[in-house]
Structure 1
Amino acid sequence: MPEDQPTDAHLCGQLYAALEVLQRLGDVGSRALGREALRLRASKRPRTEMTVPLHTVGKSLYWARLRGHGVAAGAVFRTIPDLMPAARDLPGSLTTGQQEEFLRGRLDRLETIEKSVGIGAAVAGT
């Protein structure tokens, strides 16, 4: 996978990580995206599992700011447009290989977030 051309599956994993971190920072929805079962379901069906968190990302940002995590949450929030897949919508389903790409993308983004914003694994939920 070329560095400048990530696949939609990889981007979806990165997007998932950003949404997951924002939920954790805002303590939103009991941090649902941090649960392994939901993560695995999202890797199979991104559109089904990620549409609502994507639509409510502003709520995560708002609550993160109220909890004193505004700078970190703002930095993560600003990355979301670049993490959207090239297709018009999130993929409906992913193959087994694409699911692995999704999960690698998630881990890659969590690592990037930790390096750039200083949010450790305890917050990011690796």
Structure 2
Amino acid sequence: MLRFQWRYTYKTCSYSNQAIPGRWKVQEVAGTNLDISELVEAQFKLEEQYLALIELNGSISKFAFKNAHELRGPLSAILGLINLMETTDSRPEYLQFLKKEALALDQVVRDINEVLLSEGKLKP
């Protein structure tokens, strides 16, 4: 049983694949034959890669958005403590708060680097 397929390209450069079901009886064939199996397979792989990249891009965007907000929290606290230290007498407790927030910010940056290293986006 033969199965025939043809591709029709529209003026918009889009296309449609048409197939003749195997139960039909072909009475006459006119035209040229070209084996496009490799081309169709390559196109299928490109479409899969495209969809994977779209998904990855969404994941990266969510990751960046989340971590930008996680960075802003400790950074705002550090800036606030610095302003407080400038306007009042410095107390040791302010320095402890400042150190705590700086360490929290450092940990967020380390977490980001760890994710990037595990995904191969960053070299050690």
Q: Please indicate, yes or no, whether the TM-score normalized by the shorter chain is above 0.5.
A: no
Determine which structure has the larger strand proportion and give its number. 2
Q: How does the TM-score come out when normalised to structure 2?
A: 0.28
User: Larger radius of gyration, structure 1 or 2?
Assistant: 2
Q: Relative contact order (alpha carbons < 8 A, sep ≥ 6): 1 or 2 greater?
A: 1
Q: How does the TM-score come out when normalised to structure 1?
A: 0.28
Determine which structure has the larger helix proportion and give its number. 1
